[in-house]
Amino acid sequence: MPKGTPTGTPTMFWEGYSNDRTLISDNEKGEQMNSLPKEQLIVALDVDDLKQAERLVEQLVGYISTFKIGLQLFSNSGPDAIKMVKDRGGRVFLDLKFHDIPNTVAKASEELVKLGVSIFNLHTLGGVKMMRKSASAARKKAKEVGLPPPLILGVTILTSIDERTLKEELKIKRDIKNYVSYLSSLAKKAGLDGVVASAGEIKKIRKTLGEDFIILTPGIRPAGSRVDDQKRVATPTEAIKAGANLIVVGRPIILASNPLRVVKNILKELGNAQ
């Protein structure tokens, strides 16, 4: 198992995500590098209904492995959206950002395990107790039902928030990089597999928490794309070179006239960035 693989996580699911590949042969390394972009890129199915999502999955599933289902699609289609992706051979990152009292989030986490999601997240601002109880409940439930334990990530600070919003509206005095690093340390203390953080915070997280910690980076915009409501953005190359394990891209792909062409271009860019 690669050194960067989170404890208790299936090797096959993570063999492409490790930052440290020194424990595998040169041939294995070459094979992993060729397949790595497919594992790194997650496409966000931020659409209104199941039919739209289904069209995107059927078009892209041969090129990427994981699709993000967020509040928009889940509110419309619920668990049917998860089933649709899985039935077509994809994996699911369920992006619902749980933030509630510990017992409520733990029980919800157990239900997600039974749905067979591969990744889900919860807010680090819910505190260590909430995160720890939820992670423990999810892993215990996975063992009970005979399913692989999902990757559990802590959401730090949304990429739509900038320094001004953090300090003036939320009254948090730390700068974003230091605050995200602090929240990431709470996630690791609670036993989560990693965090969701923008590219600008990756190097500090890596320096503080090491390589054996997964970082998923949203707010990804290919060069020339609209920023929309995002504030802390990066290109795919910038995120991967900074040390991201996984990146999420939504609107630049799903709103394109040819989503597959955009995916192929991003995969090529990721391949060149390794």
pLDDT score for 232: 66
Domain that residue 145 falls in: 40-273
- State the Cα–Cα distance between residues 226 and 270, nearest whole angstrom: 20
Least confident of 25-34, 75-84, 222-231: 25-34
Mean pLDDT, residues 228-246? 82
Q: Which one, of 114, 115, 67, lies nearest residue 95 by Cα?
A: 67
Catalytic residue among 83, 86, 97, 241: 97
CA atoms within 13 A on the CB side of 207: 10
Residue 138 pLDDT greater than 70, yes or no: yes
Note whether residue 35 is domain-resident: no
User: What does pLDDT average to over the chain?
Assistant: 86
Q: Which one, of 97, 36, 88, 98, lies nearest residue 67 by Cα?
A: 88
Note whether residue 151 is domain-resident: yes
CB 142 within 8 A of CB 148: yes
DSSP code for 247: E
Note whether residue 13 is domain-resident: no
CB 268 within 8 A of CB 231: no
Residue 250 pLDDT greater than 80, yes or no: yes
Note whether residue 17 is domain-resident: no
Number of structural domains the chain divides into:
1
Residue 84 pLDDT greater than 80, yes or no: yes
Count the residues in the chain. Answer: 274
**Residue 202 in tokens:** 């990756």
For the stretch 31-60, pLDDT in tens is 444 468 899 999 999 999 999 999 999 999
Grade residue 18 by pLDDT with cuts at 50, 70 and 90: very low
CATH classification at residue 199: 3.20.20.70
**Residue 11 in tokens:** 């090797």
Mean pLDDT, residues 208-222? 91
Is 97 assigned a catalytic role? yes
Distance of CA 169 to the CA centre of its chain: 27
Better pLDDT: 45 or 30: 45
- State the Cα–Cα distance between residues 148 and 39, nearest whole angstrom: 17
Note whether residue 34 is domain-resident: no
Note whether residue 7 is domain-resident: no
Residue 234 pLDDT greater than 90, yes or no: no
The strand pairing partners of 91, in sequence order, are 66
pLDDT score for 261: 95
